[in-house]
Amino acid sequence: MTEQIYDLIIIGGGPAGLSAGIYAGRAMLDTLIIEKEKIGGQVTTTSEIVNYPGVRKSTGAGLTEEMYLQAQDFGVEFATGEISEVGLEQEVKIIKTATTTYKTRAVIIATGASARKIGFPGETEFTGRGIAYCSTCDGEFFSGLDIFVIGGGYAAAEEAVFLTRYGKSVTMIIREPDFTCAKMTADQAKNNPNIKIIYNTEVKEVTGDDFMKKAVFLNNETGETFTYEASAEDGAFGMFVFAGNQPSTEIFEGKIELTPQGFIPTNELMETSVTGVYAAGDLRVKELRQIVTAVADGGISATVAEKYVTNEKERLGLPAVSEKMLKKEVKEHKAESVKKAEKSKTTASNEWFPETMKEQLKGIFSKLTTNVTLVNLFDQNDAKSIELQAFLQQIEPLSEHIQFENRMLGQDDAFEKKINLTRTPTAVLLNDQGEYTGIKFSGVPSGHELNSLVLAIYNVGSAGQPIEDALVQRIQKLPASKIEICVSLTCHYCPDVVAACQRIASLNHKVEAEMIDTALFPDLKKEKKIMSVPAMIMDHQQVIFGAKTLEEIVTALESAQ
């Protein structure tokens, strides 16, 4: 069997990478997009987008979901994994993750940028207890409290406006004498009566106890300071940091030319210092970093890459379009009549999933090899328990390997003790032996959390997501422990943390991983002093905030032994 060589591999699944995938797929390039976390990138945290041409109003997650589906329409493949090594100089490029080595003729780097921390005293200590970086994820935690927004760029201005729906006051702290974004965006904040703006000012430090309660600010022109303290009634306040982004290009150091700040210089064709390697999006050296410029970069880079790949194939005497892509094209034509028929169908108002989503889920669940049982602990007096029942009942028909059981609360004490039932609504996953896997959902895993449920079923009912052997061995050696993952259904980072914890449970049933919708359990949120998600409660004690990788979670469990 001939080893597969992709025409193009795109590293990064944000707007730049998705746009490149759309153009490459439409050009019939055999294309793979590798994303280490969440498809959509940083823009998924944007609460409102009103300046993308042709889309009058959307969210970051909504816009990139359409891009993702559009790329799939053109036959683009997707893989999840963190790049561990790249070989770019040779004719056939090498891209390695922890579990897989990929080969390709061309590469587009679209790894984007990550949120930058300022580094003032207390920023790290109070992350999750007052300091936050995602308004859509954490805004609701600060309802009725004073909120400070740090920064004067696009994100700070837009998210300050969004946060007015939660905070009793919103104050912007800008270290420059004015905003650094476009006037129209700045004016939205300047003209909002619920936003106060303080210029030429920086955060000197924040302090507190369980929550952040005090902040000291410094005027960088006069040297004067002023202090804010949360009232005794409030007991806390919020501070959202939007201090720009830093390029995610560390893996490419020494492989291609980078600026001292880590950005990738390109020409107008998106070409880097290495032939056949292109860059697109916020990691490029350029004036404006917005979704519209990222997708433009992606389109240009894919178009130029297509010409390069075509010339390379012609030089090597290879067909311009791979047999795999030709088969995909034929398959799409055959399926067209089916799609047209589906459009005429109507979906019942009480159904959770449209027909197109059902077909996607059926495709994933077709890979199941053993039975998985979803058990709902049914409380007839709990509206959310009834909702969870309806939700899971519509998952069951998607595969012959998925079974659903509804068990009345209080009728099987032994089972409830076995699964450590402490709250409802709750559902758990059993394997083909009827054993509790340690995977639990307290809340309806809809919205973004649907991803974690799908992965949980896949990991229990099949070989599961690939993990390197050394990490599997570490997981299997972990002692009995419990991870409660507190989430918000609007959080785009939460599903990855839930999925990672539940992947551990699928390999080691002594580890229990419970997704908890914090909106349903305010007492837990108050008890554990949680003001940001994702938040992992380890064995009812330590709370770990923020997005963590599978290996980081395993390390935390090992250190707790």
Active site residues: 134, 137-138
Distance, CA of 451 to chain centre: 10
Count the alpha carbons within 13 Å of 505 in the hemisphere toward its beta carbon: 34
Residue burial 234-267, b: 16+ Cβ < 10 Å; e: rest: eebbbbbbbbbbbbbbebbeebbebeeeebbebe
- Shortest CA distance to 22 belongs to which of 249, 294, 248? 294
**How big is the chain by its Cα radius of gyration, in Å?**
25
Question: Cα–Cα distance between 181 and 344 in angstroms, integer?
Answer: 46
Residue with tokens 């909002």: 192
- Shortest CA distance to 215 belongs to which of 242, 200, 237, 235? 237
Residue length of the chain: 561
- Shortest CA distance to 151 belongs to which of 108, 189, 106? 189
Question: Cα–Cα distance between 213 and 229 in angstroms, integer?
Answer: 6
Q: Which two tokens stand for residue 49?
A: 């987008």
Please list the alpha-helical segments (H only) found in 48-171.
60-73, 135-138, 154-163
Please list the alpha-helical segments (H only) found in 270-317.
291-316
The letter for the amino acid at 30 is D
